[in-house]
């Protein structure tokens, strides 16, 4: 049975974007100024939404006393751990989007194409 290839990590994607921004030819990525601005707006909108979720996670992790039942304490600890994992993941995606926007701008600045319309 063939195994499927593993997906790249967010760190791998960020490294690849940085490498493209620094050395890629960019010809296949030529876009107009208007398209560039619209694309960055979408990236920034998504990143802003992720950061807002980080703020929600910070307030959601405020748990009060759950009493002395071991299962209640285990549940609380599991929820706290899950919120930390989610926070770390969302932070990595937000950082990735920031790098992605920077890479798009770097490539755009190297290969500006005038609007044809």
Q: What angle do CA 38, 44, 45 make, to 5 degrees?
A: 90
Per the structure block, which two tokens stand in for 110?
Answer: 């190297």
On whether the CB atoms of residues 88 and 11 are closer than 8 A, the answer is no
Q: For the chain, what is the mean pLDDT?
A: 81
pLDDT in tens, 7-62: 778 788 778 777 776 776 655 556 678 888 998 999 999 999 999 998 888 777 66
Report the pLDDT value the prediction gives residue 8, as an integer from 0 to 100: 72
Instruction: Please tell me the distance from the alpha carbon of residue 59 to that of residue 75, in angstroms, as a whole number.
Output: 18
Per the structure block, which two tokens stand in for 1?
Answer: 């049975």
Per the structure block, which two tokens stand in for 69?
Answer: 């039942």
SS3 6: coil
Residues 6 or more apart in contact with residue 27 via CB below 8 angstroms:
111
Report the pLDDT value the prediction gives residue 1, as an integer from 0 to 100: 46
% of the chain beyond a pLDDT of 90 = 33
Report the pLDDT value the prediction gives residue 98, as an integer from 0 to 100: 93
Domain chopping of the chain, boundaries:
29-61+68-112
**Dihedrals phi, psi of 58, to nearest 5 degrees:** -60, -40
Instruction: Please tell me the distance from the alpha carbon of residue 43 to that of residue 94, in angstroms, as a whole number.
Output: 10
% of the chain beyond a pLDDT of 70 = 80
């Amino acid at each position: 049975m063939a195994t499927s290839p593993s997906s790249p990590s967010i760190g791998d994607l960020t490294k690849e974007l940085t490498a493209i921004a620094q050395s890629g030819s960019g010809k296949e990525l030529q876009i107009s100024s208007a398209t560039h601005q619209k694309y960055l707006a979408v990236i920034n909108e998504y990143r802003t939404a992720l950061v807002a979720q980080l703020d929600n996670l910070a307030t959601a992790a405020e748990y009060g006393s759950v009493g002395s039942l071991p299962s209640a304490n285990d549940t609380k600890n599991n929820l706290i751990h899950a919120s930390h994992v989610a926070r770390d993941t969302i932070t990595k995606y937000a950082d990735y989007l920031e790098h992605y926007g920077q890479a798009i701008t770097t490539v755009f600045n190297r290969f500006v194409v005038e609007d044809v319309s």
